[in-house]
Amino acid sequence: MGIAPKKSKFSWNEYFSDKKDGGHRHSTEEFLNKEAKEKLLHLDGGTSLLDFGCGAGELLIYYAPCYEMVVGVDFSPSMLDEARRKVAVNKYDNVCLIKADDKTVWNEVSSLFDRITTTEVLQYLTFEQIDSFIETASKYLNNDGKIVFFDIIEPRSYVLWKIGFFSKRIHYLKVLPTIFVELFDYICASLSNSPKDIIGYSHNPYKIEKIANKYGFEMEYIRSIYYEYRYHAILSRKLPL
Ligand SMILES: C[S@@+](CC[C@H](N)C(=O)[O-])C[C@H]1O[C@@H](n2cnc3c(N)ncnc32)[C@H](O)[C@@H]1O
């Protein structure tokens, strides 16, 4: 995995403009179905869902039968085309797909949601963007609603994953050179103010929790079942004492 090009020449919007899948570990329906089941368990009901960064709809089509209304949002036209195709094949008439980004999305939706969710999206947002997303999302959330961020990259586990710590067999001889290359990539990325690699930014759970608390939410931290270096953050409104 190479270093993402310098920020000035690079935008995630452009990067995703011709992509057609979300890069899940396996692209089989069997795997996506299992991934969606884990997510539906944590979404834990509700009747209306906003799936921000829905991509090609690989999970959204599994959410659709469980909700009265599903709104999928993404800034990539190619991803949305794929999502539209899947929704049409499945004949879901409760799904609306919108082209927007983390700022413009709020001009496009008018109703409140029971659940606002993202999967593998926070890695493309800076802390400032996440802060602003949570602040505005909270205004579009029903009182007992939840914001559920799935599969955020955990910085410490990601480093371990990259050096092969979670592999079935660790190749100890490769660990040292890998650490060296990783360190070099990290320094270059920091100097050029770019995301460290094309997977985007990792975010410390304590920092996400701090933002959540600032806007009156408490955060539940859950390790992802299918990705060793990812976690979920479930934000529910703090109950009055
Ligand atoms: C890794 S894919 C995941 C797609 C989908 N959530 C899934 O799990 O299959 C990330 C998606 O987020 C979208 N995305 C990233 N940043 C975004 C932003 N600021 N506004 C809208 N969409 C964004 C990308 O276009 C891409 O479709």
> Domain tally for the chain?
1
200 within ligand 1 shell (Cβ under 6 A): no
Confidence band, pLDDT 50/70/90 cuts, at residue 70: very high
Residues 145, 34, 119: CA angle, nearest 5 degrees:
45
Q: Answer whether residue 214 shows pLDDT above 70.
A: yes
Please say if the pLDDT value at position 132 is more than 80. Answer: yes
Q: So what's the pLDDT on residue 192? A: 65
Q: Is residue 50 part of a domain?
A: yes
- Whether the CB of 124 sits within 6 Å of ligand 1: yes
- CATH label of the domain that carries residue 53: 3.40.50.150
Q: Is the pLDDT of residue 7 over 70?
A: no
Asked whether residue 181 is assigned to any structural domain, the reply reads: no
Residue 58 near ligand 1, beta carbon < 6 Å: yes
The residue whose CB lies within 8 Å of the most ligand 1 atoms, and thus the one to mutate among 121, 130, 132, is: 121
The model's confidence at residue 239, banded by pLDDT at 50, 70 and 90, is confident
Position 174 in a domain: no
Q: Is the CB of 54 under 6 A from ligand 1?
A: yes
User: CB-based burial of residue 143 (10 Å sphere; 0-12 exposed, 13-18 middle, 19+ buried)?
Assistant: exposed
| Residue 143 resides in a domain | yes
Of residues 191 and 178, more confidence is placed in 178
Note whether residue 91 is domain-resident.
Answer: yes
Contact criterion met (CB below 8 Å) for 65 and 83: no
C-beta 151 within 6 A of ligand 1 = no
Is 121 near ligand 1, meaning CB less than 6 Å away?
A: yes
Has residue 191 got a pLDDT over 70? no
Let me know if residue 116 belongs to a domain: yes
- Residue 196 pLDDT exceeds 90: no
Count, residues in the chain:
241
What mean pLDDT is predicted for residues 143-167? 89
In a domain, 136, yes or no: yes
Tell whether 194 is covered by a domain: no
Distance from residue 125's CA to the centre of ligand 1 (Å): 10
Query: Which domain covers residue 46, as residue numbers?
Result: 11-155+201-237
Of the pLDDT bands very low, low, confident and very high (cuts 50, 70, 90), residue 142 is: very high
- 116 alpha carbon to ligand 1 midpoint, in Å? 14
Which of 5-9, 62-66, 196-200, 231-235 is least confident?
5-9
